[in-house]
Amino acid sequence: MHFGIDRLPTETKLVARLREGRFGLLAHPASVDGRFRHLRHLLHGLGASPAIVFGPEHGYGGEAQDMIGVDDSRDAYGTRVVSLYGENFSALTPSANDLDGLDLVLCDLQDVGARYYTFVWTALLMLRACAARGIPLVVLDRPNPLGGVLREGAFPISERFHSFVGLEPLPVRHGFTLGEILKIRAHEERIDPALLEIVAVDGWDREKSAYGDATLRGRWVLPSPNMPTPETALVYPGGCLLEGTNLSDGRGCTRPFEITGAPWLDGEALAKALSESGLPGFFARPMVFQPTFHKHAGLLCGGIQIHVTDPVHFRPYATYLALIAYAAQAHPASFRFRTERYEFVDDIPAFDLLTGTDKARAAILAGETPREIADHFSQISPASAARLGSWLDVVGA
């Protein structure tokens, strides 16, 4: 399998445009080729140097934790690095001044296959800003590490719940590459097709190139501080829901999103309940842990680790919905949903932004059974499935 970046040196017309023109670069630490050479260094070797560099959430260097604003800086070559994750929503979009005089913007970001992972929305905001000025966005595409078949999470999201963890309608586990999502949005928003160019992955087969692909696993570079392994990506479409609660999401531990719990949680009972849920593809192991930072830092927590035993049939979104429902209903005096500001939104609970509805939270608080909640809110409706089918036609799948 050859990623877009692997194909770049042989894309002679594109390389000539990069050498001769003035271009911007949107990248992060995982923007590496098959020999682990970062795109910035690869471009230097090709005789092409960006006029400006842009970095997404967590920073161009990948150093910042979640929801931490990043300042502008300089890269190793002295080029200005503009942060596209600051202190407010408007900072997510590049300014007209930063795009002024560019002939194109080159983008290479590793997505992890979940709607809430913000890099795809940074890329979309870049596409919109470029299109408004007639500047092409060229995407060096990468495979979806979760494959292109299984999808979970009801959509569309009503406009009220649009946010930086769901800027436009997508299933939570969406089954598309970043380049494909941009192609879908360009089609939906009637952006001139000439303003979006995608260097596709050679060998990407959405039916076969799923989790466990040796090529992808063998060259994994963490794209953000708490996405260290492909196993993390596999649970993340469900594990990120923990951010909307006072359960630990495993930050401050060595297995983020796989580990969860709280000082007041009975891990043995939670593991037993999940194991008896009938949901497939995992083992819930009771454990104790002590986060070094983030939620419950320094406190001994009861909890569980989710061990995925069957990646093909594992349903992360359904599994973590059930997990959260069990924890909430077993510990009503201690469990709570997050109400603090989340991804620049003050007036909507984080859990609602993540699920794209207020109905899942209401069902949990009403005491509906965890399995029923998991099944109902993870389903793709027939109407949504038809819409997905039309999108597959757009990307040529």
For residue 394, is it within any domain?
no
300 and 284, same domain (yes or no):
yes
- The whole-number pLDDT of residue 210 equals 59
Asked if 126 and 26 touch (Cβ cutoff 8 Å), the reply is yes
Task: Specify the pLDDT at position 212.
Answer: 57
**385 inside domain:** no
pLDDT at 209: 61
Q: What is the pLDDT, as a whole number, of residue 156?
A: 79
Q: What is the CATH number of the domain that holds 155?
A: 3.40.50.12170
My answer on whether 256 and 355 are in the same domain is: yes
- What's the pLDDT score for residue 124? 98
207 shares its domain with 258:
no
Say whether both 370 and 237 belong to one domain: yes
Return the sign of the alpha-carbon dihedral for residues 166, 169, 170, 171: positive
Are 192 and 337 part of one and the same domain? no
Measured CA to CA, the distance from residue 228 to residue 254 in angstroms comes to 9
229: Cβ–Cβ under 8 A, 6 or more apart, which residues? 220, 222
Helix (H, G, I), strand (E, B) or coil at 237: helix
Are residue 180 and residue 254 in the same domain, yes or no? no
Q: Is residue 241 part of a domain?
A: yes
Residue 333 lies in a domain: yes
Strand order in the sheet with 23-27: 73-74, 80-83, 52-55, 23-27, 104-108, 137-140, 196-199
What pLDDT is stored for residue 273 in this prediction?
97
Is 108 in the same domain as 140? yes
- The CA-based angle 253-63-85, given to 5 degrees, is 115
Residues 181 and 295 placed together within one structural domain of the fold: no
* Strand intervals (E) in 191-344: 196-199, 259-262, 282-289, 301-308
- The pLDDT value recorded for residue 24 is 98
Count of structural domains within the chain: 2
Return averaged pLDDT per consecutive 10 residues of the chain, 397 residues in all.
96 98 97 96 97 96 88 93 94 96 98 96 98 98 92 86 95 96 97 97 79 73 94 96 98 96 98 97 98 96 97 95 98 97 96 96 97 95 92 89
In a shared domain, residues 220 and 234: no
Of residues 294, 274, 297, the one with CA closest to residue 284: 274
Based on the fold, state whether residues 57 and 127 are members of the same structural domain.
yes
pLDDT of residue 205: 83
Residue 317 covered by a domain = yes
Which token pair is 323? Answer: 């997990």
Give yes or no: residues 287 and 349 share one domain.
Answer: yes
Domain assignment present for residue 259? The answer is yes
Report pLDDT for 1.
87
> What is the value of pTM for the model shown?
0.96
Domain limit, last residue, from 224, 244, 265: 224
**Contacts with 386 (C-beta within 8 Å, 6 or more apart), sequence order:** none
In a domain, 392, yes or no: no
Position 213 scores a pLDDT of 65
Q: Determine the pLDDT at residue 157.
A: 84
The CATH number for 311's domain is 3.90.1150.140
Q: Which domain holds residue 278?
A: 230-378
- pLDDT at position 216: 77
For residue 388, being part of any structural domain is answered with no
- Give the per-residue pLDDT at 207: 80
Please check whether residues 58 and 176 belong to one and the same domain: yes
Closest CA to 115 of 68, 51, 162: 162
pLDDT confidence of residue 298: 97
